[in-house]
Amino acid sequence: MSYPKYVPLHNDPSHSYTLPGFFYNDPQLFHQEKEQIFYKSWQLLGHISELQNPGDFVCGYIVDQHVFVIRGKDGNLRGFYNVCQHRAHELLKGKGKVKSFIVCPYHAWTFNTDGTLNTARHCENKMDFDKSDFGLVSVRVEEILGFVFVNLDPDATPLAEQAGEMFADIQASTEWWDKVVASDSSNEDSWAGSELPANWKVLAENCLECYHCSPAYPAFSDLIEMKSYQVEANGLWIKSSGRLKKSQNKAYHVDPSEPSQSALFWYLWPNMGISTLPGEASLSAFRFYPVEAGRTHMTSLIMTLPGETIKQERSDYRWHVLWLEDKSICESVHLGLNSKGYKQGRFVVNKDRGDISEHGVHYFQKTYAKMMGIE
């Protein structure tokens, strides 16, 4: 694929231009991203607390490929493409529990929880019909720290090998990681999400620098000590962190005795993050599902201690202040990336001060260029 002339990314972020706008809005490039990035990367589907018993399932999608993970009768987790092998109807929706079999709502073909075909109505005497030819097509599944991931690539390197250090850091940084469960709070609707007119990379890059925090997030900048903010890149993941600035601030009150006194963000290539903010023992997982070049579906999963929810003041801040600030920024940036008046920007870099540096975005863009073969 040929591209318009542009200045390639420099290895040194302080000397590097940014990617040009057409990388964010070209439909052909988006198709290439599907094949070279999303169909080959580990994607977060849910949390183990949603898959406790045989028959429990969660559904999701990787761009245009719908999948689900189910707990089998034998206790094992398995992942499958969410498509009936008869006439291609979707099998399951959302999350829930099947009683004994997976039943297609179209023609009622039934499948066992191990993916094998159980019954095909009125096919008992059909010549040359072998049920073993019509089992569900499996996808890779991996569970790590309670998070359940899938990968469409049967040859993908295990996630534990790709980013084991990231999950070890989460484990070391959050004493409650093994105690939290998916929250049932209506204010934290699991994976409900929000679609916005912006490329997925715009959302990712917005998460990987805090140079914009002081001008764009007045409450967050009063919650977190900006001079303490750090951004560290490691392989396929990036960690951002900053300590609590003061208990009484413009975002919400934080008691000094509460278990989390920092903001910690772990970003896993290509489109998923795990975070904790000052306050309760909780973890938030979020992902940016690309729909097309100019549309992204942002979803989040909140995990709290059993029976607990995020305090209302904090939930209001997350969804009615911080997310709206993010949404507005990303939509505006995507509009600008489509402008004939924009070519390429330059990175601002100060690795000792994450609050005034964009080296995390440069690292993301270099990773993207490598994966897409455009270095």
CA distance 283 to 273: 10
Query: Is the domain of 235 the same as that of 368?
Result: yes
CA distances from 232 to 164, 173, 275, 338 (A): 16, 15, 15, 30
Which of 127, 151, 175 marks a domain boundary? 151
Under a CB-based contact definition with an 8 Å cutoff, are residues 354 and 242 in contact?
A: yes
pLDDT > 70? residue 332: yes
Tell me, what DSSP letter sits at residue 309? -
pLDDT category of residue 192 using cuts at 50, 70 and 90: low
pLDDT for position 123: 87
pLDDT > 50? residue 234: yes
Q: Is residue 188 part of a domain?
A: yes
pLDDT > 90? residue 317: yes
Higher pLDDT, 90 or 185: 90
Q: 157 CB contacts (<8 Å, ≥6 apart)?
A: none
Closest CA to 232 of 165, 145, 279, 294: 165
Instruction: Provide the 10 A C-beta neighbour count for residue 96.
Output: 12
- Tokens coding 216: 């764009």
Query: Is the domain of 82 the same as that of 165?
Result: no
DSSP three-state, residue 256: coil
**pLDDT tens, position by position, 337-354:** 999 999 999 999 998 999
pLDDT for position 124: 84
pLDDT for position 71: 98
Query: Is the domain of 309 the same as that of 208?
Result: yes
Q: Which residue has the tokens 């260029």?
A: 369
DSSP three-state, residue 81: strand
Q: Residue 303 maps to which CATH number?
A: 3.90.380.10
Kindly provide the b/e burial profile for residues 233-248, where b requires at least 16 CB atoms within 10 angstroms of the residue's own CB.
beebbbbbbbebbeee
Query: Is the domain of 337 the same as that of 235?
Result: yes
pLDDT for position 184: 64
- Tokens coding 214: 């002081």
pLDDT for position 186: 41
Query: Is the domain of 92 the same as that of 65?
Result: yes
Q: Is residue 263 part of a domain?
A: yes
pLDDT for position 188: 45
pLDDT category of residue 74 using cuts at 50, 70 and 90: very high
pLDDT for position 193: 80
DSSP letters of 176-189? TTTT-EE---GGG-
Total domain count for the chain?
2
DSSP H helical segments within the chain, as ranges?
27-36, 159-173, 200-207, 213-216, 218-223, 312-317, 323-337, 359-372
First to last CA, the chain: 13
Query: Is the domain of 118 the same as that of 267?
Result: no
- Percent of residues, the chain, with pLDDT higher than 70: 97
Under a CB-based contact definition with an 8 Å cutoff, are residues 151 and 140 in contact?
A: yes
CA distance 158 to 6: 35
* Bond before 270 cis per omega within 30 degrees: yes
Q: Is residue 5 part of a domain?
A: no
Q: How are the residues of the chain apportioned to helix, strand and coil, as percentages rounded to the nearest 5? A: 30, 25, 45
Q: 302 CB contacts (<8 Å, ≥6 apart)?
A: 182, 183, 185, 188, 190, 282, 283, 284, 310
pLDDT for position 183: 83
pLDDT > 80? residue 153: yes
Which of 128, 151, 174 marks a domain boundary? 151
Indicate if the alpha-carbon torsion angle 245, 242, 275, 369 is positive or negative. positive
pLDDT for position 199: 98
Query: Is the domain of 20 the same as that of 109?
Result: no
- Tokens coding 370: 């490598």
Q: What is the pTM of this model?
A: 0.94
Query: Is the domain of 267 the same as that of 234?
Result: yes
**pLDDT tens, position by position, 97-142:** 999 999 999 999 999 999 999 999 988 888 889 999 999 999 999 9
Report how far Cα 290 is from the mean position of its chain's Cα atoms: 10
**pLDDT tens, position by position, 257-293:** 999 999 999 999 999 999 999 999 999 999 999 999 9
Q: Is residue 6 part of a domain?
A: no
pLDDT for position 83: 98
Which of 151, 186, 216 marks a domain boundary? 151
pLDDT for position 187: 45
Q: Is residue 284 part of a domain?
A: yes
Q: Is residue 8 part of a domain?
A: no
pLDDT for position 126: 86
Query: Is the domain of 304 the same as that of 187?
Result: yes
Query: Is the domain of 123 the same as that of 186?
Result: no
Q: What is the pLDDT averaged over residues 196-210?
A: 97
Q: Is residue 86 part of a domain?
A: yes
Q: Is residue 7 part of a domain?
A: no
Query: Is the domain of 36 the same as that of 53?
Result: no
Query: Is the domain of 142 the same as that of 257?
Result: no
Q: Residue 78 maps to which CATH number?
A: 2.102.10.10
- Tokens coding 331: 């939509």
53: containing domain = 43-151
